[in-house]
Amino acid sequence: MRKAYRLLTLSLAVVLALAVLSACANDVSDSSEFQIGIIQLVEHPALDSAREGFLAALENAGIEASIDFQNAQGDITVLATIAQRFVSNDVDLVLAIATPSVQAMAAATDTIPIVGSAITSYERAGVVVSNEAPGGNVTGASDMNPIEEQIHMIFEFVPTLTTLGIVYSSNEANSVYQAEIARGIAQSLGLHVVEGTVTTTGDVQQNTLSIAGRVDAIFIPTDNTHADSMGVVGQVSIETGVPVFPGERYMVMGGGVATLSVDYFELGYQSGTMAIQILRGEGDPATMPVQFARHLTPIVNGFMADELGVAVPAHLVDYIQ
């Protein structure tokens, strides 16, 4: 009887040991899946493409991750709430899409790695010490536009250009920065500059209409407020006959004429490869330099060019959409 009891005790011990081992194996499996938060200012094609590129990079690298995607719907105040959610959930990494998103996330944590995308100037946003040596928990890929080339492109469509309108959102650091650069370039080319700023999408129609009455063409940087309102901008452009040249392709297709644009899917993919290095322990945001867009593509909105009677330069005809 005692021998049988000992055998039973041993059997139970083996079962319990196997159960513990099984539980540990499950824990290891669960912990191998990364928790990634994605904070995005607003939905529009450029930012959506950056997110899709990021996710494609993770998938192609075989990274298993649970994704918590949160969209602030253009409300700056909501970004802080989303950032706190990710901090409370102690995610492994955050993808911050657009400048206000990375600013909100950086203000909420200095320990969780943050990789940005669709951000013009990390330095100007105040989230890195320098592009070459970020120095903290933030790095990423920049969508800084070739503004000088874009303004030269405007001359190709509007050879009689003497007065350039520059419109942008005054509460977006990325837009203010690009507007400053555009102003300097335009003035160096002998152009008179007329500026107009907005703070919400509700300001866009009246501001664009006001500026259009005083200029030969309008330049809009990669500005989230205007990107969300390009249908309105396009209508004003048609009504006034003043062509608009935005900073990126999706804004062009929404109501602009042409631009030389960053490929936002590829930009998001670059951010994804940086995130992969961090997740694998092969990189530290503090020492990973900010990267810049590698692919620039001309894009022409054929409909808007026709509506405005703007001649498309011969070397850009193949880029008409």
**Does the fold of domain 147-261+297-319 match that of domain 34-144+263-295?**
yes
Per-residue pLDDT, averaged over 17-37, amounts to 52
How much is the average pLDDT of 168-175? 93
Q: Is the pLDDT of residue 171 over 60?
A: yes
Q: Which fold has domain 34-144+263-295?
A: Rossmann fold (3.40.50)
Confidence of residue 1 (pLDDT cuts 50, 70, 90): very low
Which range among 32-36, 47-51, 91-95, 168-172 shows the weakest confidence by mean pLDDT?
32-36
Q: Give one DSSP letter per residue of 211-240, joined into a string.
A: HHTT-SEEEE-S-HHHHTTHHHHHHHHHHH
What confidence score (pLDDT) does residue 15 get? 35
pLDDT level of residue 295 (50, 70, 90 thresholds):
confident
Q: Distances in Å between the alpha carbon of 291 and those of 17, 60, 134, 273?
A: 50, 20, 11, 11
Listed by start position, the domains of the chain span 34-144+263-295, 147-261+297-319
Each residue of 263-275: pLDDT tens digit? 999 999 999 999 9
Q: What is the pLDDT of residue 136?
A: 98
Cα distance between residue 211 and residue 308, in whole Å: 17
Of 14-28, 34-48, 169-183, 295-309, the range with the lowest mean pLDDT is: 14-28
Domain 147-261+297-319 = CATH 3.90.550.10: no
> What mean pLDDT comes out for the span 255-270?
96
Which residues touch 270 (CB under 8 Å, ≥6 apart)?
A: 53, 57, 117, 141, 291, 293, 294
Q: Burial-class residue 172 by CB neighbours within 10 Å (0-12, 13-18, 19+).
A: buried
For residues 117-145, give the mean pLDDT: 96
Residue 9 has pLDDT above 50, yes or no: no
Report pLDDT for 32: 65
Burial class from Cβ neighbours inside 10 Å (0-12, 13-18, 19+) for residue 299 reads buried
Cα Rg, the chain, nearest whole Å = 25
pLDDT at residue 11, rounded to an integer: 37
Pairing verdict, β 34-40 and 217-220? unpaired
Asked if the model's pLDDT at residue 241 lies above 80, the reply is: yes
Asked if pLDDT for residue 54 goes beyond 50, the answer is yes
Rounded to the nearest integer, the mean pLDDT of the chain is 91
**Of 11-15, 47-51, 72-76, 86-90, which range is least confident?**
11-15
For residue 226, what pLDDT is reported? 95
d(CA 319, CA 249): 11
* Per-residue pLDDT tens over the stretch 74-94: 999 999 999 999 999 999 999
pLDDT for 82:
98
pLDDT of residue 268: 98
Q: What is the pLDDT of residue 10?
A: 35
Question: Encoding tokens for residue 19?
Answer: 């159960």
| pLDDT above 70 coverage of the chain, percent | 90
At residue 63, the pLDDT reads: 97
Q: Is the pTM of this model over 0.85?
A: no
Does position 218 have pLDDT exceeding 90, yes or no? Answer: yes
Q: What values do phi and psi take at 117, rounded to 5?
A: -150, 150
